[in-house]
Amino acid sequence: MKISKDKSILLSRCCIVLFAAALLALDGGGYFAARWFCAVRSLDRAALYAMTAAIYLCSVFAWIALWQLWRLLGNLRREAVFTAENVRRLRIVSWCCVGVAAVCFAACFFYLPFLFVAIAAGFMALIVRIIKNVFEQAIEMKSELDLTI
């Protein structure tokens, strides 16, 4: 099945809206979910506080990243692809992933499975960073091409 460029961007935007809705739900019920989870797993209060803090700190990074991705898709729809603004947005997304990785790494001392989230976020930061480097290189090539008469 071949999806047109506009439909693909629309699909990505729908995914961002879904993620935003999920994040909103997490923000609303994060503490209660953590409390329920700690009760089921018989974890101590330190783990509960660490888990709650990790959820809300990661939520801040996730909101920033989602907003940047939303604006990035808006630029792509306007066919402004290889621009310095998009590189800046990708850099911010990458740093958000690093932030999530750092928070989850700190939380893993209280609840070990957070280490997996930290590794996944770190890996995601690496991928986004490489895409950002590709964009930077593409901007340079585009400027050279534009100035070839």
Partner 1 sequence: MEILVNLDVMMARRKISSGELAERIGITPANLSILKNGKAKAIRFSTLMALCRELSCQPGDLLEFRDEEEHAE
Which residue ranges make up the site for partner 1 (CB under 8 A)? 143-144, 147-149
Q: How many residues does the chain have?
A: 149
Q: Which residues contact 21 (CB under 8 A, 6 or more apart)?
A: none
What is the distance between the alpha carbons of residues 16 and 102, in angstroms, rounded to a whole number?
23
**Would you say 137 or 143 has its CB closer to partner 1?**
143
CB of 84 to partner 1, least distance (A): 18
Q: How far is the CB of 133 from partner 1 (least distance, A)?
A: 21
CB-nearer residue toward partner 1: 79 or 146: 146
79 versus 144: smaller Cβ distance to partner 1: 144
Contact 117, 127 (CB under 8 A): no
Cβ-contact 51, 106 below 8 angstroms = no
Residues 67, 131 contacting (CB under 8 angstroms): no
- Closest distance to partner 1 from the beta carbon of 46 (Å): 60
Pick 56 or 82: Cβ nearer partner 1: 82
Shortest Å distance, C-beta 141 to partner 1: 11
